[in-house]
Structure 1
Amino acid sequence: MKMVKRYAGILMMLTLLVGFTSCEDDEDLEEQMFGRIWAGDVGMSAANGRYIYSEFTFDPDGFGEEYQYYRNGEPYDYFRFQWYWEDRYSNNLVLDYGRNGISYMDDVNIRHGLMTGIFYLTEDSKGFPFTLEMQ
C-alpha cells in the first residue's frame, strides 16, 4: 500500500509539472512574436497573378504591419492591421485590416524560430498552411 501511495504521489507531481510547462509556452507565445519580422508565404498572389510573400511584425500594443513582396524582392503592397486573439483559449489570431477586411491565422505555434499555422484571407476562404521564418 505504501508503494502505491508513493507512485501516486510521483504521478501527481509529474502531471503538475507537465501542466505548468504547457501554460508557460502559451504565455510566451506573444513575447516570442514581438520585436521580430516573420517572413514567408501565406498563400496570396498579386492582382496580376504573381506569387507574393509577406513580412509581418506584431507590436505589444495590438497593432502590426504587413509588407508584401514579389518573389524577386520587389515591393508589392503595405498594410497596417490591428491584431488580437480570437478568444483566450485558442492560438487563433485575428488580423483586422480595417476597410481592407479581416484575415485569420489559426493554430499559431512558434518553435525554433518558425511561426506555423493556417492562414485564411477571409472568414470563408480556404485555409493555407503557412510557415513564417523569424528574421
Structure 2
Amino acid sequence: MKKYLYFIFACVLTLSLASCDDDDQYSIESVIIGRAWTGDVGMNADNGEPLFSTFTFGGDGFGEEYQYYSYDGAQYEYYRFQWWWEDDFSNNLVLNYGRAGTSFMDNVRVTGNQLRGTFHISDDSPGFNFILEME
C-alpha cells in the first residue's frame, strides 16, 4: 500500500512541476492576438498634439498601429510592424516598424480587459507607462 502512495505522490508531483513549464508570455500572447488594444502610449503628433493608438497583434508575428488625435479622434498615422518577444524569459515585446524604427513594450501584462506595460519609442528613450483597453 505504501508503494502505491509513493507512486501516486510522485505522479502528482511530476504533473504539477510540468505545468510550471509554461511561460507567462504564451498565456499573454493568446490573449493579445486578434484583439484591438487602444490607449495612450505617450506619443505626440508633429505639431505637439497628443495622440492615442490602437494596436493589433497577429498570430503571424505582424501587427498594426493606428494613431489618432486625442482631441477629435481623427486618424493621424498608420504603421505596420513585426513583433516578437525579446527573449523566452520576459514579457518584453519588440515592435519593429522597419524604416520608422523599433519600439519596445516592456513588462507587458494583461489584467482583465487591460494591457499594461512601459512603452519606449526607441532603445534610448524614457519609458511611458501605458494602459491599453481591449475593444
CA contact under 8 A between 2:38 and 2:134: conserved in structure 1?
yes
- In the alignment of these two chains, the number of paired residues is 122
1:119 has 2:119 as partner: yes
**How far 1:28 sits from its partner (Å)?**
1.4
Runs ≥4 residues deviating over 2 A:
19-27
Task: Map 1:1-135 onto structure 2 (within 5 A).
Answer: 16=16, 20=19, 23=22, 25-71=24-70, 72-135=72-135
Q: SS of the residue aligned with 2:42?
A: coil
Q: TM-score, normalised to structure 1's length? A: 0.83
Identity, % of aligned pairs? Answer: 51
CA contact under 8 A between 2:23 and 2:88: conserved in structure 1?
no
Uncovered stretches (5+) of structure 1, i.e. residues with no partner: 1-8
Indicate the RMSD between aligned Cα atoms, in angstroms. Answer: 1.9
- Measured in 2, the distance between the counterparts of 1:134 and 1:84 equals 20
- Measured in 1, the distance between the counterparts of 2:127 and 2:43 equals 11
Question: Aligned letter for 2:42?
Answer: G
Q: TM-score, normalised to structure 2's length? A: 0.83
**How far 1:20 sits from its partner (Å)?**
3.6
Quote the residue 1:5 is aligned against: none
- Measured in 1, the distance between the counterparts of 2:96 and 2:78 equals 14
Uncovered stretches (5+) of structure 2, i.e. residues with no partner: 1-8
**How far 1:21 sits from its partner (Å)?**
6.3
